[in-house]
Copies of this chain bind each other. A is one copy, B any other.
Amino acid sequence: MDKTDVLIIGGSAGGPVAGITAKRHYKDVKVTVIRKEKEGQVLVPCGLPYIFGTVGTPEKNIIPDTLLTGNNIDFIVDEATSIDRETKAVATASGKSIRYEKLVLATGGLPIIIPIPGKDLGNVFCAKKDVDYLNSLLKTLDEVKDVVIIGGGFIGLEFADELKKRGLNVTIVEMLPHCLQLVFDEDFCSVVEDRLRERGIGVKTKVQAEAILGEKKVEGVRLNTGEELKADLAFMCIGVRPNTELAQKAGLQIGETKGIWVDDYGRTSDKDIFAIGDCAEKRSFFTKKPSPLRLASIACNEARIVGANLFGLKRRNEGVIGSFATIIGDSGTGLAGLTETAAKQAGFDVVTGEVKTPDKHPGSIPGAKEFRVKLVFERATQEILGGQVCGGSTVGEVVNVLAALIQNRMTANEVATFQYGTHPFFTPSPIPYPIVNAAEVALTKLRT
């Protein structure tokens, strides 16, 4: 029987980071990762859509195995099939049994397939993290013209934008009134939808895909309005559900959002078993209630918490803020924390501040784009709850500025005197610098 101090099940973002963190905090422990992906076949999760227009092949979107081997972490290509919590051992598909002191579940998520007629036809795809699968998708894309994307969330939009770069006719079908409606306030959703349309991507909202049509392969998609969209390929981007099969079989508690329940230190209902990433339950930073957010950056953050906590509790998870950005064409849009809508839904009495300005200064610098920031503050404490931003290539790191302000629960007055730096090519002007100015705008409202 094999034996390791720390056994990690899952080789994508969270697993390796948990392993590296464990080695940093507990130098002499033996860490082993068990994963299904063969040597050199672990995909960069967030890079998935970009394989198809920008990067070119799944093989160029790989997390190198040296991430493990270079950090003295063993890895086994195999599938964990069951956990014996009594003897603290994991059984594998190849018949191995591996004993552990501490076990980390990083089993990820599985793409949701909606059970509509035609879902099993040829040329129906989803965002599956598998090199062979994505290569077959890539090959198929060379043979098709019209693509319907079912689901107007981040992944759906990013796939749409990339497939447009290949010259395909792309239509997004979203059941809610707006794409990204669960992510941004309506006015920011509209900005993104405008960009999609400018790029020649069809956007159909408030409609549901009722059936995928075709004999053997996709020939069309029928909507609940009766309309039939021509399609040679359908892409389901509804979201991801936590992969908890192993945990459930082992009798571990499951949470409200169907993830593996964990405490504030990342421990499951078994104190020697931790869970991180898409398979694990999350709580909101703001309300401490279960949160449906699933992101690679969150998985890595949880991995750094759990890796440090394995043999003694050092880091507490304060709950997910939710920081992310996306790109359509060359326009970026991002969020940290709560939108106005989400804050109100959670019961907060809020005040907002919004500012628009060029993202370079003077605005005559070539390539300057409109930059827009909307901040949300809680009225009584005046603490920042969230920020949305749209602009160009700096949006991703602006989201991180906002995340830092939120994580430190800064008040509108503190945000208004935040000591940002500026540069003509890199940032808006110091005079209207939008984050601090949006806080000033909110303060004006708070005083009345």
Contact = CB atoms under 8 A, between A and B. Distances in A.
Interface of A: 13, 16-17, 21, 24-25, 44, 46-47, 50, 54-56, 60-63, 67, 285, 295-301, 304-305, 314-315, 320-327, 332, 334, 336, 361-362, 364-366, 393-401, 403-405, 407-408, 410, 413, 416-427, 429-431, 433, 436, 440, 443-444, 447
A60 B422 contact: no
B304 A417 contact: yes
Shortest 8 CB-CB distances between A and B: which pairs? A396-B426, A323-B421, A404-B404, A397-B397, A408-B408, A60-B364, A297-B430, A300-B430
A403 B425 contact: no
Contacts of A320: 419
B44 A362 contact: yes
Q: Is the interface of A mostly helix, strand, loop or mixed?
A: mixed
Copies of this subunit = 2
Given A297-B430, A404-B418, A407-B419, A413 B314 contact: yes
Contact of A403 (B300, B314, B334, B419): B419
A325 to B, nearest CB: 5
A443 B47 contact: no
A326 B431 CA distance: 18
A445 to B, nearest CB: 11
Nearest to A409: B408
Contacts of A13: 430-431
B423 A315 contact: no
Contact of A424 (B50, B364, B447): B50
A321 B418 CA distance: 10
A362 B61 contact: yes
Contacts of A398: 397, 400
Nearest to A12: B431
28 contacts: A13-B430, A13-B431, A44-B362, A46-B424, A46-B429, A50-B365, A50-B424, A54-B365, A55-B362, A61-B364, A295-B421, A295-B430, A304-B416, A314-B413, A320-B419, A322-B421, A323-B421, A327-B423, A334-B421, A393-B393, A395-B426, A396-B421, A396-B427, A397-B400, A397-B401, A397-B427, A399-B421, A400-B427
A256 to B, nearest CB: 21
Contacts of A67: 431
Given A47-B361, A304-B436, A299 B430 contact: yes
Determine which residue in A299, A320, A396 has the highest number of CB atoms from chain B within 10 A of its CB, and name it. A396
Contacts of A56: 364
A422 B396 contact: yes
Determine which residue in A321, A325, A399, A423 has the highest number of CB atoms from chain B within 10 A of its CB, and name it. A423
Contacts of A447: 25
B394 A300 contact: no
Contacts of A50: 365, 424-425
Given A13-B430, A393-B425, A403-B418, 11 more contacts: A16-B431, A296-B430, A300-B430, A300-B433, A323-B420, A324-B422, A332-B426, A336-B421, A394-B394, A407-B419, A408-B410
A251 to B, nearest CB: 30
Contacts of A364: 55-56, 60-61
Nearest to A407: B419
B425 A396 contact: yes
B417 A305 contact: yes
A422 B46 contact: yes
A404 to B, nearest CB: 4
A401 B398 CA distance: 8
A429 B17 CA distance: 12
A138 to B, nearest CB: 15
